[in-house]
Amino acid sequence: MVPRPDPRQLDLFAEQVVPAFRTEPTLDTSPVRVGFIPMDEMLIEAGLGSRYSLMTGYALQDTSVPYLPRSIAFPVTLKRDRDGTPHLFVASPVYADLPYVRRVEEATGLKAISHPSASGAFWHHAVDLAADAGWERLAESLEFTTLECVDQAVGLHVIDGELSAANARLLMGRLGVQEPGDRSAAALARIDVNFGSFELDTTAWTAIHAVEDGWIKPGRVGKGRTVYATLTKKALDHVASRRAQAA
C-alpha cells in the first residue's frame, strides 16, 4: 500500500520514503538462576545452605543451632544482582561475627555487609525471645536487635500470653526503659473492641498496665490450642460509656 504524502513535506508528489524502524537493544530481564552454579553447589555440599534457600534468595540456615531465635539460625542472606554478582547481607556487623557467617564468608570468598534487606533479623530476635522462656536471654543479647523491636515484641507477647506482665516488668527494668508515671492512662482511655490490638499502641508498658490494671485478660498459647486475649468487663464498660457520651 502506497503511503499518504506527509503534509509537512514541501513537494506533495515526491516519492515517499518509509523510514526504517529503530530497534532498541533487548534487555534480558529474566531472573538469574541460582542453586545450579558452582558457588551454590559448594555451599550445599559443605552443609552451609539448601537448594531451596539459594534458589529463593532466603536467608541461609545454620543447622547447628536451634531454630529459635531465627536471627541466629538464619543470620546471613546470599543475594545476586541481575548480572549474577553475589553478595552476602547481614542485619548488622555483630551478625557478621557469628561463626556460621564466618564459615560462609570463607567458603564463598565474599565479605558479609550490613544491608536493609537483612534487617528482619532484628525483629526475629526480639519476637522469638520475648517470652517467659527467653526474656533473660533477650536482655543479655540486645546487640542482635533494637529497643524499638523489643518494645513492640514485649507488648505483643504480654497481650497474647507468651510473656507474663511480671517478667515483662523485669525485662524492661533490665533494659532501663522508664515506666510512664500515668500508667499509660492516655493510651488505655482509647481502648476499644477490636480483635488483636484493641486500638492500643501495644508497646511494652501499655500492655503491662492493661493486664495489671484489669483492662485485658491475656491470651494463652498451648499445644494445639490458642486462647486469644479478651477485654475485661472493666474495659467493655469503659467502651460503652465512651460511646454513649459520643452519641
Question: What is the share, in percent, of the chain residues with pLDDT greater than 90?
Answer: 70
**pLDDT value at position 37?**
79
CA 211, CA 234: separation in Å to the nearest integer?
12
> CA separation (Å) from 102 to 97, 107, 116, 144, 153?
7, 9, 20, 16, 29
Mean pLDDT check: name the lowest of 42-51, 117-126, 202-211. Answer: 42-51
Burial 184-204 (b: 16+ CB within 10 A, else e): beebbeebeeeeeebebebbb
**pLDDT value at position 194?**
81
Mean pLDDT of 55-69: 92
**pLDDT value at position 31?**
46
Position 5 pLDDT exceeds 80: no
| Arithmetic mean of pLDDT over the chain | 88
**pLDDT value at position 35?**
45
Q: Which residue has the cell 555451599?
A: 43
Position 34 pLDDT exceeds 50: no
**pLDDT value at position 247?**
85
> CA separation (Å) from 6 to 9, 19, 66, 243?
6, 12, 75, 73
CA 218, CA 209: separation in Å to the nearest integer?
12
Mean pLDDT of 28-56: 75
For residues 50 and 232, which has the higher predicted lDDT (pLDDT)?
Answer: 232
Position 4 pLDDT exceeds 80: no
Mean pLDDT of 223-241: 92
**pLDDT value at position 229?**
94
Position 52 pLDDT exceeds 90: no
**pLDDT value at position 27?**
46
**pLDDT value at position 158?**
97
**pLDDT value at position 21?**
47
Kindly report, residue by residue over 183-209, the tens digit of the pLDDT. 999 999 999 998 667 988 889 999 999
Mean pLDDT of 136-140: 98
**pLDDT value at position 137?**
98
Mean pLDDT check: name the lowest of 85-99, 114-128, 178-192, 213-227. Answer: 213-227
CA 139, CA 172: separation in Å to the nearest integer?
9
